[in-house]
Amino acid sequence: MRHVLFIATALFVMGLAFWAYRENYRTQGELREVRALRQEIGELRESLAVLRAEWAYLNRPDRLRELAEINFSRLQLLPLMPQQFGDIRDVPYPVLTGAVAGDPVDLSASTEAAP
């Protein structure tokens, strides 16, 4: 009976060693994948920074103004003037007549199916 217990213990230890060996290699593979993903993220962030710098370079106001002047015959773009902007007081809001906050609103008339 003792020999069976020793053999079973030895087999159990070998099984644990095999399991630990496989887990070790699986963990190393996952760590390699994480390193690759971090490197890819770093490269993508670097390329994003380059793209943002290029976008800022292409959107320079003096460059856009020059392009608008060159292509004026096709685009008819004019520079913005302060007189083109209005004030919030100039916005005509609709006047509510007879409506009180909390009154029920009939939505059935406004949800009719379109032909």
**Residue 31 in domain:** yes
**Residue 33 in domain:** yes
**Residue 74 in domain:** no
CB neighbours of residue 68 within 10 Å = 14
pLDDT (average), residues 27-39: 97
**Residue 109 in domain:** no
Of 3-7, 23-27, 71-75, 111-115, the one with minimum mean pLDDT is: 111-115
Please tell me the total count of domains within the chain: 1
**Residue 56 in domain:** no
Written as six digits, the tokens of 71 are: 């292509």
Whether the CB-CB separation of 65 and 79 falls below 8 Å is answered with: yes
**Residue 101 in domain:** no
Q: 24 is in which domain, residue-wise?
A: 12-43
**Residue 23 in domain:** yes
| Backbone phi and psi for residue 97, each to the nearest 5 degrees, phi listed first | -110, 120
Range of 63-67, 83-87, 104-108 with top mean pLDDT: 63-67
The one-letter amino acid at 19: W
**Residue 104 in domain:** no
- Report pLDDT digits (tens) over 99-108: 666 767 776 6
- Report pLDDT digits (tens) over 90-101: 888 887 676 666
**Distance (Å, whole) CA 37 – CA 41:** 6
The H helix count followed by the E strand count for the chain is 3, 0
Residue-level pLDDT at 115: 45
Between the two ends of the chain, the Cα-to-Cα distance in Å is 90
Q: What is the pTM of this model?
A: 0.52
